[in-house]
Structure 1
Amino acid sequence: MRLSRHFLPVSRETPADAQIVSHQLMLRAGLIRQTAAGIYAWLPAGHRVLRKIEQIVREEQDRAGAIELLMPTVQSADLWRESGRYDAYGPEMLRFKDRHEREMLYGPTAEEVITAIFRDSARSYRDLPRTLYNIQWKFRDEVRPRFGVMRGREFLMKDAYSFDLDEAGARHSYNRMFVAYLRTYARMGLSAIPMQADTGPIGGDLSHEFIVLAPTGESEVFYHRNWEQLRSLDVDADDPAALQAFVSGLTADYAATDEKRDPAREAAAGDALRQSRGIEVGHIFFFGTKYSAAMGMTVQGPDGSAITPQMGSYGIGVSRLMGAIIEANHDANGIIWPESVAPYQVALINLRADDAACAAAADEIYAKLMAAGKDTLYDDRDERGGAKFATADLLGLPWQLVIGPKGLASGVVEMKNRRTGEKAELSPESALARLIG
């Protein structure tokens, strides 16, 4: 994409109402714009990042055996009355009536909808186990939306729901998703710690939050220092015993949110205990028959008896992840995107748009990068070099390739790694070979 034709409204000034780094940088880099309290428009560059995050989430859900569908954003209040949650959920639920005076709501989550869909379709034990997932916009009417996309009212969420014949199967589904989440975050360059957590309005007796450590996080967290090290995620997810042993081994080191602290385990950790704040980037729940029983779901078992399926639900805040990634990847000059989610891989900077040789060389390199499938943002604007460098650093693309008259006269271009700051002068052919691989 040529920057002269892009819609990328960057700003040098830090917005006064943005309190944390991710919110500040998302506004300054032209990724989002607020349209109402806690509600944002995703501008082109931000939308590209959002879709890349979504695709990683989708691929790891598919790898875990989950099946994608798409559920509505607007739900009937009658479904929530069946489960008993309509009156209990609280003021975060946006409720309204349609023109026929039917009570509706903008879904904050989808346990009721998916339970009704599966209840009306599954008949036999042969229809289980199944895990279904949905990537859809949700709405929770936060009393004080803040921190940009970290605590907004409208957000993009992946929510998955498992259906199993018995508790052993349901816990296996839970463990599969547990590992899928860790793999998802690792692909985005994040180290997320699973922590025992309260189940809240979702319900159930087993729950883990996945927390990325950050000073601006909303949760106080306590963990063993071993969680600061990378962990292998190599396990056969189809073997229930191996998977259970793997998850148990991963969670042997202490980690918990403030609500689930264990004084005895903290004392055992001794000097290895760490305290920090963290950002929740995912939450998984096992809640047994809470929804299936309340909504009358049964399937015929192998012996002909009626079985109420066991359920779990698994949420990832897709849009929230974007803020968490920035909180974990930035410096004084701007964002530093991991390559897997960057809006573009290369910032191609022509220092002299009015120089015919520079323009010709930059155009040729741009064409070769695009032909090789390397997403490139080509800064061909008639701007000063300093402004172009500032934009490239703010936007945080992994690589910068700089074309200037002095370098071209010597047969070289400058290549910079945004994360390390390392620079090298290379021939255009060598630079292309490094970038294209």
Structure 2
Amino acid sequence: MRASRFFISTLKEAPSDAEIVSHQLMMRAGMIKRIGSGIYTYMPMGLRVIRKVEAIIREEMNAAAGIELLMPLVQPAELWQETGRWDKMGAELLRVKDRHGRDYAIQPTSEEVITDVVRSEIKSYRQLPLNFYHIQTKFRDERRPRFGLMRGREFTMKDAYSFDRDLAGLQASYQIMFDAYVKIFTRFGLKFRAVAADNGAIGGSGSHEFHVIASTGEDALVYCPSSDYAANMEAAEALPVAAARGAAGQALAKTATPDTVKCETVAALLGLLPLAQTVKTIALTVETESEGKLAKRYFMLLLRGDHELNEVKVGKVAGLAGHRFSTEAEILEVYGTVPGYLGPIGTKVPVTVVADRTVANMHDFVCGANDAGYHYTGANWGRDAAEPAIVADLRNVVEGDASPDGKGVLAIERGIEVGHVFQLGTSYSESMKATFLDENGKPAPLQMGCYGIGVTRILGAAIEQNFDDKGIIWPTAIAPFELVLCPMSYDRSELVKEATDTLYAAMQAAGVDVIVDDRGLRPGAMFADWELIGVPHRIVIGERGLKEGNLEYLGRRDTEASAVPLADIVSFIQGKMQP
């Protein structure tokens, strides 16, 4: 490729609406152009990266016995209604009508469509296992699109779906896909981590997320440096800080704490009491309807003062599905006081107390007294407050917590989710009646797995991990070009032009993805463009070096250029191409 015949459109400054580094650099490097909220045109330079990402994915999916097809972007509402997701997906699912008034979804994912395909095609266990995949445009109507390709509304995703006869088969297919994802992200040249995750709205029994490690990542990843344990914050198990409850050592006392509704201010008021000795209360309400009547049940969640609530874990506690935070009117009715002074001792009406594991093992703790302006000190379970009705893991882990596998302590780093694998089981096949005949000739539901990679999101994540003050630093495997040739005075020096053209042809013959900058720019402007774009390898061709038999090589991460003999340059670059 010659730069004069390609489209290069770089900017000195990023648009004002570009919020994060990857968005800024992709806009400045001319890789994407915004045409609407969360909707972008992939410009030629950015599209080359996307195509390289897709090629690696295809190679590894095919090697893992994946079968490629292509499902439609526009999907009939009836399929989504079969699974109930037409209503469950909410406003994120873009719904449209055709000229006849029929409802359709602009697909955010394709579980319903692939299940419909398979239920009409698969009849016998002899046809299993199967794994279909496609790389297709998706649309999710994000409430607040931002961060460029990181949280846009239209994007490209690879989604795959496995079908098996039993749970053992599903688990085998899941492991094959997990291993394929490890190979894919390794080939991308990115630092990543696979973590156990919550299945969320998609359903199913087990899943892992794949995250590109980046300090700017939205997600907290929990791992044990001395073992294989890893999970995202939503799924990471938090063990009790104390293995057992200590004996009571203080008398219960009701203490005045005026205008102190937060644990931090209560601890400070009580003489620099450790925050870890306080307990905070979160009031929840669960509404149920029976025979046309609405009933309410009230729950009191208790966390240590310095811990944070994990709402995903809360939703899995028995009786708390569909919970909401109690209103101030409900709190006054149940506890007889305003928020900030709630506690497990002396509520006005019965409530279900749900204590975090750590709180259940606390003694001599401080809690609200259900009286505005007062807290209890020296509170103890059994003596002062009834034992919690439910003890559960309710909190986010913190750095230094014991690892659930007993092999060390936990650490936390930031990551950007770019892939997710799910064991869906029969949640879709049962609702859509997708069955096969087993060995005994009896119908059985298909066991299903789902596996996604955010193709266009990879670009943003890769940049968030790999950039400097000059611009992007692409890993070689997914760079728009592997090598750029920068001739000095290409249009004025016959020696430079001849050497450049010869080297260009040699690199092409050696299989190197090379571009030669024949635009006639001054060196500073030329170098700045390629540093911004992030091409990982650069060769400068100048008259002085050629007369000495050398060329100048600079890797994108190098601080100084090095001279390479002209006779060795092709093999030298081939060596640099190795992962």
Give the structure-1-normalised TM-score: 0.91
Match runs of 1:319-338 below 5 Å: 319-338=456-475
1:35-59 Cα shifts (integer Å, max 9, x gaps): 1111111111111110110111111
Match runs of 1:52-91 below 5 Å: 52-91=52-91
- Deviation larger for 301-310 or 260-269: 260-269
Shift of 1:422: 4.8
> Per the alignment, in what secondary structure is the counterpart of residue 191 of structure 2?
coil
Shift of 1:399: 1.2
Instruction: State the distance in 2 between where 1:58 and 1:272 align.
Output: 38
Partner of 2:417: 280
Partner of 2:116: 116
Instruction: State the distance in 2 between where 1:218 and 1:90 align.
Output: 23
1:367-390 Cα shifts (integer Å, max 9, x gaps): 222233221111111211111111
The yes-or-no answer on 1:394 pairing with 2:369 is no
Instruction: State the distance in 1 between where 2:545 and 2:408 align.
Output: 54
Shift of 1:325: 1.2
1:248-302 Cα shifts (integer Å, max 9, x gaps): xxxx633222212311296324974222221001111112111111111111111
Shift of 1:425: 1.3
- Equivalent residue for 2:477, pick from 340, 346, 360: 340
Partner of 1:234: none
Shift of 1:69: 0.8
> Per the alignment, in what secondary structure is the counterpart of residue 476 of structure 2?
coil
Contact 2:158 2:453 in 1 (8 A): yes
Instruction: State the distance in 2 between where 1:12 and 1:273 align.
Output: 43
Q: Which has the larger radius of gyration?
A: 2
- Between the two proteins, what is the percent identity of the paired residues? 49
Partner of 1:233: none
- Equivalent residue for 2:503, pick from 328, 344, 365: 365
Instruction: State the distance in 1 between where 2:54 and 2:205 align.
Output: 29
Partner of 2:94: 94
Match runs of 1:156-175 below 5 Å: 156-175=156-175
1:49-85 Cα shifts (integer Å, max 9, x gaps): 1011011111111122211111111100011111111
Partner of 2:351: none
Instruction: State the distance in 2 between where 1:284 and 1:341 align.
Output: 22
1:129-152 Cα shifts (integer Å, max 9, x gaps): 111111111000111111111111
Matched to 1:62, the amino acid is: N
The yes-or-no answer on 1:304 pairing with 2:441 is yes
Instruction: State the distance in 1 between where 2:61 and 2:534 align.
Output: 28
Matched to 2:173, the amino acid is: S
Matched to 1:346, the amino acid is: L
The yes-or-no answer on 1:376 pairing with 2:510 is no
- Equivalent residue for 1:260, pick from 235, 255, 266: 235
Partner of 1:35: 35
Contact 2:190 2:475 in 1 (8 A): no
Instruction: State the distance in 1 between where 2:519 and 2:99 align.
Output: 51
Shift of 1:218: 1.7
- Deviation larger for 112-121 or 127-136: 127-136
Partner of 1:183: 183
Shift of 1:19: 1.7
Q: Which runs of 5+ in 1 are unaligned?
A: 227-251
Partner of 1:435: 573
The yes-or-no answer on 1:135 pairing with 2:167 is no
- Deviation larger for 310-319 or 321-330: 321-330
Instruction: State the distance in 1 between where 2:408 and 2:80 align.
Output: 47
1:178-206 Cα shifts (integer Å, max 9, x gaps): 11111110111123222222212210121
Instruction: State the distance in 2 between where 1:204 and 1:304 align.
Output: 26
Instruction: State the distance in 2 between where 1:373 and 1:208 align.
Output: 36
1:102-123 Cα shifts (integer Å, max 9, x gaps): 1011100000000000000001
Give the structure-2-normalised TM-score: 0.69
Instruction: State the distance in 2 between where 1:271 and 1:163 align.
Output: 38
Partner of 1:231: none
Instruction: State the distance in 2 between where 1:326 and 1:349 align.
Output: 23
- Deviation larger for 421-430 or 98-107: 421-430
The size of the alignment, in residue pairs, is: 412
Partner of 2:196: 196
- Deviation larger for 53-62 or 12-21: 12-21
> Per the alignment, in what secondary structure is the counterpart of residue 159 of structure 1?
strand
The yes-or-no answer on 1:416 pairing with 2:554 is yes
Contact 2:510 2:570 in 1 (8 A): no
Instruction: State the distance in 2 between where 1:163 and 1:271 align.
Output: 38
Q: Which runs of 5+ in 2 are unaligned?
A: 241-396
Provide the alpha-carbon RMSD of the alignment: 1.6
Instruction: State the distance in 1 between where 2:183 and 2:209 align.
Output: 15
1:84-112 Cα shifts (integer Å, max 9, x gaps): 11111110111010111110111000000
Shift of 1:426: 2.3
- Deviation larger for 207-216 or 302-311: 207-216
